[in-house]
Amino acid sequence: MTTFCLTLAVTFVAIALWGVSYGFVKAGRELHNGMLSRLMHSPMSYFDTTPLGRILNRFSKEIDTVDIALPRNTRYFCNAFFLGVTLVLQIMIALPLIAAIVIPLLAAIYFVKRYYQMTAMQLKRLDGLTRAPLISSLQQSFAGTAVILATGQTARFIAESHRKVDSLSSILHLSNALLHWLCLSNLLIANTLTTIVSFTCVILRNTAAFPNEPAVVGLALMSAVAFTILLQWMVQNLCDLEYSLLSTERIRDYTEAPVEAPAIVPDNRPPPKWPYKGQITFQNYSTRYRPGLELVLEGINGTIASGEKIGVVGRTGSGKSSLTLALLRIIEPAGGAISIDGTDISKIGLQDLRSRITIIPQEATLFGGSLRMNVDPTQEASDEQIWDALESSRLKPYFQVSPQGLDTRISEGGSNLSVGQRQLICLARALLRRSKILILDEATAAIDFETDKYVQEVVRKEFSDCTVITIAHRINTIMDSTRVLVMDAGRIREFDTPANLVEQPDSLFYKLAKDAGAI
């Protein structure tokens, strides 16, 4: 009867703990989704300061631990725990005297586990610290394979990689040694129980305290032997369970990563056709990449009229790209404001702002997928419109001969296309969007002079009624701009027509144009 009640109680508790284990799985999934959605909305400064290797480690190892190891360890521990409790109770029912040594044995198990765990925690931390640099280093090496091969640095990178693998292996080796120590300690404790149970049986064999049934004595002895095997498993599962919970903590840190401003501000949504004219006004605008850093744009004032074609020039690091990032609110203002058609862009949602401005960046961003998906990511255009855009960007003849047509596969990052072709796909994308403001951030740097000229012609023709801001590496390409904005150390130094600026030999633009051989 007692055994039946015990079994029933244990079954109920086991079911309750299975529920807890299921809860872990659910919580793990929520943490995963939370981390992903948070990181997708994190500002650029967060990625500037958080190594990519660390983020990848969270998404691979830690998520794997929460999704797979945590529920498994919970289940294993529950099994081991209840089996262990049942075995000890069976021994105590058969030989009540054994109860006297259970508490000292539990104390010994507790101290061994605590010692093991303190050391293992440190090792786990070291594992994380050595694993992340290894992932980052591998990633950098793969990204820079061409440069590493070209500069003959292969041996250095391999040696560096070996050094990092060695550091990680030494931590893994120590973890294994610690695990063996735990095994040995637990075996000693469990064997002590078996020895005491055996001796008690022998000593009490002729006394009233000895069970009448030989089967009960056999059960006690069998339980003691089984406990020897089980204890090791139970303690290790408990430790594994606690480590898995550490991963949850690490992922939770990422679910609290900073996020950008809201995508939509319901009370302040611009009308669907905004911007109507594309007039951009800077009012004493300044910005920095993150708190604590120097201002990269300072006291920017000026108005770009609707439909103007503005060329932005300046020495490297003068703040040209920062100006475009400020327009898209990739970096937020530290002071002043930018208005588009009279609307302060800092007051509207990021999605509303960014969906109304088109940028062709310095580095073309292409995704692994079809040509159609890359040219028309929102999937709103017809095949005809996409082919027209490809024709205007001079890519139609190239893709027309492909049997898959618009379904031609583009590799991740556009690696099966030339750098120039990638930029032309971005131009086709811009042609499809047709927003009132277009930004070209050194977009034609990788294109030959002839194609660059053609792109400028297409932009002038197709975006004739739009405001176009061109950050130029070739001064020639912006000589026919309406006005030229010359940046220097984060400030606007000159803002006038190219003709006026080249007439002033002491102007910065004159010097830049002269250096470039444009005048």
Ligand X SMILES: Nc1ncnc2c1ncn2[C@@H]1O[C@H](COP(=O)(O)OP(=O)(O)OP(=O)(O)O)[C@@H](O)[C@H]1O
Residue 320 interacts with ligand X (CB under 6 A)?
A: yes
* Tokens found for residue 229: 């095997």
Give the residue among 17, 114, 32, 22 at the shortest CA–CA distance from 65. Answer: 32
- Supply the minimum distance, in Å, between the C-beta of residue 329 and ligand X: 15
Give the residue among 135, 132, 168 at the shortest CA–CA distance from 250. Answer: 132
Residue 317 interacts with ligand X (CB under 6 A)?
A: yes
* Tokens found for residue 419: 């750098």
* Tokens found for residue 6: 């015990």
Residue 318 interacts with ligand X (CB under 6 A)?
A: yes
The residue from 81, 116, 289, 399 that contacts ligand X (CB under 6 A) is: 289
Distances, alpha carbon 223 to alpha carbons 14, 195, 227, 392, in Å: 20, 12, 6, 82
Cα 246-249-253 angle, rounded to 5 deg? 145
- Supply the minimum distance, in Å, between the C-beta of residue 292 and ligand X: 10
- Supply the minimum distance, in Å, between the C-beta of residue 120 and ligand X: 38
Q: Which is nearer to ligand X, 289 or 387 (CB)?
A: 289
The residue from 48, 249, 457, 515 that contacts ligand X (CB under 6 A) is: 48
- Supply the minimum distance, in Å, between the C-beta of residue 469 and ligand X: 12
Residue 322 interacts with ligand X (CB under 6 A)?
A: yes
* Tokens found for residue 152: 């003959």
Q: Which is nearer to ligand X, 237 or 318 (CB)?
A: 318
* Tokens found for residue 406: 């618009």
The residue from 43, 314, 349, 498 that contacts ligand X (CB under 6 A) is: 314
Contacts of 131 (CB under 8 A, 6+ apart): 57, 61, 168
Contacts of 142 (CB under 8 A, 6+ apart): none
DSSP 476: G
Residue 319 interacts with ligand X (CB under 6 A)?
A: yes
- Supply the minimum distance, in Å, between the C-beta of residue 419 and ligand X: 16
Residue 207 interacts with ligand X (CB under 6 A)?
A: no
CA distance 484 to 453: 18
Residue 57 interacts with ligand X (CB under 6 A)?
A: no
- Determine the interface stretch with ligand X among 233-241, 288-296, 402-410, 511-519 (rule: CB under 6 A): 288-296
Q: How far apart are the first and last CA of the chain?
A: 104
Residue 49 interacts with ligand X (CB under 6 A)?
A: no
- Determine the interface stretch with ligand X among 50-58, 144-152, 277-285, 315-323 (rule: CB under 6 A): 315-323
- Supply the minimum distance, in Å, between the C-beta of residue 443 and ligand X: 12
Residue 316 interacts with ligand X (CB under 6 A)?
A: yes
- Determine the interface stretch with ligand X among 117-125, 313-321, 454-462, 478-486 (rule: CB under 6 A): 313-321
CA distance 191 to 196: 8
Residues found near ligand X in the complex (CB under 6 A)? 48, 289, 293, 296, 314, 316-322
